[in-house]
Chain A
Amino acid sequence: MVNTLPYLSYIPAHIVMGLAVLFFFIGRAIPGVRRLPASLVFLLVLAVCFIIEALGSGSNSVFFELVTIDSFSRLYNQIFFIVTAVVVIMMLYNDEIKSKINWEVFGLLSTICLGMMFMTAASNLLMAALAIELVSIPSYILVALNSKNPVSKEASLKYILFGSFAAGIMLYGMSLIFGVTGSLNFEVLWKGLGDYSVVNSPIYFLAILMTMAGMVFKIAAVPFHFWCPDAYQAAPTPVTAFLSTAPKVAGLALIIRFFSFHISLQGENLTLIISVLAMATMTLGNLAALKQTDIKRLLAYSSISHAGFLLMGIAVLNEAGRQAVFFYIPVYILMNLGAFMAVIYLSSGSNNFQISSYAGLIKKSPMIVVGFTVCLFSLAGIPPFAGFVAKFYLFKVIIEQQLYLLAVVAGINSVISLYYYVYVIKVMIIDSSDKPAEDNKIGVFPVAFVTLCAIPIVFFGVYWQPLLNWAEKVKLLM
């Protein structure tokens, strides 16, 4: 029903935009509106949008072919709504920004949501650039929300400068592509680049690589990852949790959609480019994480290396690779959200994010530490947790495509990554501390949350067919 008029099939986007307008403008202008509980309104509207997305079907190209709606964009939008809702709930339990949760924050989150929805549905380079900026600019502000931490503003400034730099390069690359092919539409531009003489020319590589700059920046892959550790460390923890999941997934979705229109002639070069990116990202993320003493920085580098693993799945440029990525993403989100919620709980008393301050916490908060341990082992890819199954599918698709060097590098990186995850576990469980117990003032909800994240991780680690069935429903252009 919602697809009878193609224009109306994008209702959820309209609703989210309406939310942004509400939070930014109307809330200030009309006195009565301000008395509504903002988080409740936000969550309710997100729920409505989720239901609308779930009811949709079919594939449409709307807005002068700038945007394509299909099951891919629908299911990813659902993920974004869930993650945003969860992050809002996390914010209510975190005193870094509890005082700052006012209407502007929800307005920013709505805008980011809108941007992410466009990123998964964009079928035109200009739309992609617009969507990336829609996500980036509010993120810059969200990072700076932490007024207690003086580093927060510095990190935000680094993020702004870096983001603008990456956006500039991306726009230049897009203009090069336009120059060569005469179009910004994904399908048309790959056909335009499909001539044999073009595929091996320097301008081709330059254009593709520069266009990727913006997307690579969004997923924090090498060489545009420098902003990531600082921003993650200095931002309020719920914002970090949000940044490490939702925009990263949106960036990956954009990359998947962008490259899915390639023609077979270009396949080999593109696989090479993305594989090299993947290898560099994984390796750098893991090696840098080995020496970290701050838990949020460690998780930042860990998310960089996971982006590298996901790029592996994209590098094979076929349906199986995309399926592997679709399988990995919900697992990744569960693991990350669980880990960050545990960090919020464990650091809430002291506001100290040094790993050494977590020593011996198994005695004071056993359930959270066990849940956190499950998330960490899953991030490392150890059976019987879901993270292993996700990595297994990635290994499977790259061996099917005979990318053996990539497989070996990924395997070695899995082992390296184990060390820093186990380091955190070791500090929590094996080390002991003489400090007196500090009361965590935030109650039982975070414990339930982390346990609710850990249980599916263990379940899907042993029986993952349901998740596989979901991943098979995510198809481009269907």
Chain B
Amino acid sequence: MSHILSWVVFIPLIGVPFLWLVSKEKAKWVALIAVIIDFLVALPLFINFDKALKGVTTVGEMQFVEKASWIPSLGIEYFIGVDGISITMILLTLIIGVMAALASWRIGIYQRGYFAMFLLLETAMLGVFVSLDLILFYLFWEVMLFPMYFLIGVWGGPRRIYAAIKFFLYTLLGSIGMLLAIIAIWYFAPGDSTFNMIELLQRVQAGGEFAGPAIFGFPFAKVVFIALFIGFAIKVPIFPFHTWLPDAHVEAPTAISVILAGVLLKMGTYGFLRINFPLFPEVFEWFRDFLIVLAVINIVYGALCALAQSDFKKMIAYSSVSHMGFVILGIGAATEQGINGAVLQMFNHGTITAMLFLLVGVVYDRAHHRQIAGFGGLASVTPVYATITSLAFMAAIGLPGLSGFISEFLILAGAFKVYQVATIVSGLGIIFGAAYMLWAYQRVFFGKINEKYKDLTDMNVVELASVVPLICIVIFLGIMPNAIISYFETSLNYLSSILMN
């Protein structure tokens, strides 16, 4: 099928008008069918993907490329394509999309509006990962802001309005910096002004430099790098730009937390790998040490915060901060193992944290609160739920045999070559991770049964359908990680060689 990538990106959006052709209760089926069709349409992408092509800076080696002139006067094109990094993220987005649609089964008000925003968000996320033109990238990036605002603000928890506007303003501030940086990159590009990402990367690889004037007295490349960095760092989120995350995650409805943690956070690190670091390799060299410090702070501080939480969902939100710290550690190390581990961690964290939020949603739907201390002894009341949650928690801790271990191991091995102290301190993060996860599990599932909840119903079919596929992926990748590593290995090894020089 021609233009398969465009279809994959826009099928969710095409599904939006159909929401108004059915009754409100049937709207969720339309959305579910749309994301499943999207996944099925995308299967040829994964089957026909050539794992030997490195992409990244060579246009000829990007796959499923589509190029059309869009705004000729500025040279903006509709230029999309995938390489190793993008294809992994596309797979993640599609899987999470289906799981989130299942998690939205119990939305009670304005269903059509909810799923319209949901499908628009899905298109925007897919668009970000395939865009190879800076303005197209930026447009898709921004398009997901206002659906997120509505999704959190209308269907969220008690403090949803505060959380939604905080998310919107915070992310927009970073995005404006990113826009100014993109315009500066375009205007002061080595050679002709262009928005074509791959072209720019190629020129930088060939030795081109951004010959811009000093901005407020600082060197041009450094200021633009920092502006881009802050824009992406807010998304990851990197300390100290992480304060929007606990609020947004906790107040969002379950499905939106799943999307937020599963995909949106990865867009930040994807931005680092695709745009920020390869375009400015010398500034990356200068910035690396500081980046590693930030990564370690993320890991350890995030874990300590998680340890202190009494709200189940907030604890998992902070654990997200901690796990993304590992991704930053891997990228900052820039060794082959480090970067491969980082992208694997991106994929794994997406699936694992999605599972965690889905499982919290299960108990919240029944008990209408998320206080860890308010539960007890649920293992005997809801054994299926307890088993699945234990698997999920073990994956989050990084137990060997499950996917989390492989990625964390690769990152630590890759980082140890260059930053020994940081790696050792990050090991602490893993220990704290085990601490808060196991302690929470013990308080909720073991111990005396809480009288209030001895009649809790176990997971129903829809909830199981949303979690079990993720469990299977986690177990599979724990034993056969090469199934996915082979997709991005070539591209990332090449990227690592770019960044290491």
Interface residues of A (CB under 8 A from B): 377, 382-384, 388, 392, 395-396, 399-400, 402, 404-405, 407-408, 411-412, 414-415, 418-419, 422, 426, 429-430, 463-465, 468
Contacts and interface: CB of A to CB of B under 8 A. Distances in A.
24 contacts: A377-B146, A383-B139, A392-B183, A396-B187, A399-B184, A399-B187, A404-B216, A407-B180, A408-B180, A411-B177, A411-B180, A412-B173, A412-B176, A415-B173, A419-B165, A422-B149, A422-B168, A429-B153, A429-B154, A430-B153, A430-B161, A465-B72, A465-B73, A468-B73
Given A388-B142, A415-B173, 16 more contacts: A382-B142, A395-B179, A395-B180, A395-B183, A399-B180, A399-B183, A404-B215, A407-B180, A411-B177, A415-B172, A415-B176, A418-B168, A422-B168, A429-B153, A463-B70, A468-B71
Contacts of A465: 70-73
B176 A414 contact: yes
B143 A384 contact: yes
A20 B179 CA distance: 48
Contacts of B73: 465, 468
A418 B183 CA distance: 21
Contacts of A418: 168-169, 172
Contacts of B139: 383-384
Contacts of B173: 412, 415
Given A411-B180, A419-B165, A468-B73, A429 B150 contact: yes
B169 A402 contact: no
Contacts of B161: 426, 430
Interface in B130-165: 138-139, 142-143, 145-146, 149-150, 153-154, 161, 165
Interface string B200-214: 000000000000010
Contacts of A388: 142
Given A392-B179, A415-B176, A383 B142 contact: yes
Chain B, interface residues (CB within 8 Å), range: 20 to 34
B222 to A, nearest CB: 14
Nearest to A407: B180
Interface SS majority for chain A: helix
Interface string B233-268: 000000000000000000000000000000000000
B192 to A, nearest CB: 14
Contacts of A408: 180
A285 B416 CA distance: 53
Contacts of B70: 463, 465
A411 B150 CA distance: 23
A396 B76 CA distance: 13
Contacts of B177: 411
B144 to A, nearest CB: 10
A324 B165 CA distance: 30
Minimum-distance CB pairs A-B, first 9: A411-B176, A383-B142, A399-B183, A415-B173, A383-B139, A404-B215, A415-B172, A384-B143, A396-B183
B251 to A, nearest CB: 12
Contact of B213 (A392, A402, A419): A402
Given A465-B72, A468-B73, A400 B187 contact: yes
Contacts of B143: 383-384
A430 B165 CA distance: 12
Interface in B350-368: none
Nearest to A393: B74
Contacts of A430: 153-154, 161
Contacts of B216: 404-405
Contacts of A399: 180, 183-184, 187
A393 to B, nearest CB: 9
Nearest to B187: A400
A25 B336 CA distance: 85
Contacts of A405: 216
Nearest to B155: A430
A465 B78 CA distance: 13
Contacts of A383: 138-139, 142-143
Given A383-B139, A399-B184, A426-B153, A411 B179 contact: yes
B216 to A, nearest CB: 6
A451 to B, nearest CB: 15
B61 to A, nearest CB: 29
Contacts of A463: 70-71
Contacts of A400: 187
Contacts of A404: 215-216
A430 B153 CA distance: 7
B134 to A, nearest CB: 12
Contacts of B183: 392, 395-396, 399
Nearest to A468: B73
A412 B179 CA distance: 12
A412 to B, nearest CB: 8
B169 A415 contact: yes
A426 B183 CA distance: 32
Nearest to B154: A430
A191 B182 CA distance: 38
* Max chain A C-beta neighbours (<10 A), residue from B70, B146, B161: B146
Nearest to A392: B179
B166 to A, nearest CB: 11
B169 A419 contact: yes
Contacts of A402: 213
Interface in B55-91: 70-73
Nearest to B212: A402
Nearest to A464: B71
B190 to A, nearest CB: 17
B111 to A, nearest CB: 14
Contacts of B71: 463-465, 468
Contacts of A422: 149, 165, 168
A377 B149 CA distance: 12
Contacts of B142: 382-384, 388
A279 to B, nearest CB: 15
Contacts of A382: 142, 145-146, 172
A429 B161 CA distance: 11
A358 to B, nearest CB: 15
Nearest to A366: B113
A408 B215 CA distance: 11
A383 B146 CA distance: 9
Contacts of B169: 415, 418-419
A362 B142 CA distance: 24
A404 B150 CA distance: 33
A85 to B, nearest CB: 31
Contacts of B149: 422
Contacts of B213: 402
Nearest to B173: A415
Contacts of A468: 71, 73
* Max chain B C-beta neighbours (<10 A), residue from A388, A399, A407, A429: A399
A381 B393 CA distance: 42
Contacts of A426: 153, 161, 165
A419 B172 CA distance: 11
Interface string B177-199: 10110011001000000000000
A405 B183 CA distance: 15
Nearest to B177: A411
* Max chain A C-beta neighbours (<10 A), residue from B149, B153, B176, B183: B176
B328 to A, nearest CB: 25
A377 B143 CA distance: 11
A267 B149 CA distance: 43
* Max chain A C-beta neighbours (<10 A), residue from B142, B183, B213: B183
Nearest to A469: B73
B204 to A, nearest CB: 20
A463 B74 CA distance: 13
A359 to B, nearest CB: 13
A110 B239 CA distance: 60
A377 to B, nearest CB: 6
A245 B173 CA distance: 28
* Max chain B C-beta neighbours (<10 A), residue from A402, A415, A465: A415
A58 to B, nearest CB: 25
A20 to B, nearest CB: 40
